[in-house]
Amino acid sequence: MSDKYVTVKKIDTFKSSDLSRIIEMAWEDRTPFEAIEQLYDLNETQVIHLMRTALKRKSFQNWRRRVSGRKSKHLLLRSCDITRAYCPSQYKVKSATKVKR
């Protein structure tokens, strides 16, 4: 059975929030494909197929150009200095700026 067939079958089982999170993780520079595989059971080939079907053509091309050869997207290639998968300020709510009156 090919990865393409398995991916199509798996995509149908994900909630839209999960698909959105997988796409977000795929775009993130520091999130390796292995983390996506551990959380969602999708290998790199399946993530690429998912991105190809979920994104517009130009967006997919931009994403592929961005992640191709990027060492931080593979645990075995990334620097041992990188010990976390996200920026410390990521997902933090910014405090609202006070409006001067």
Q: Name, in order, each residue with C-beta under 8 angstroms of 4's C-beta and a sequence gap of 6 or more.
A: 49
The predicted pLDDT at position 61 comes to 96
Assess whether pLDDT exceeds 60 at residue 41.
yes
What does the block give as tokens for 55?
A: 């994104």
pLDDT of residue 87: 54
The pLDDT, as a whole number, for residue 12 is 80
State both tokens at 53. 């079907």
Q: What is the pLDDT of residue 13?
A: 86
pLDDT of 18 reads 92
Percent of the chain with pLDDT over 70: 59
Is the pTM higher than 0.85? no
CB-CB contact of 23 with 67 (8 Å):
no
Write down the mean pLDDT value for the chain. Answer: 76
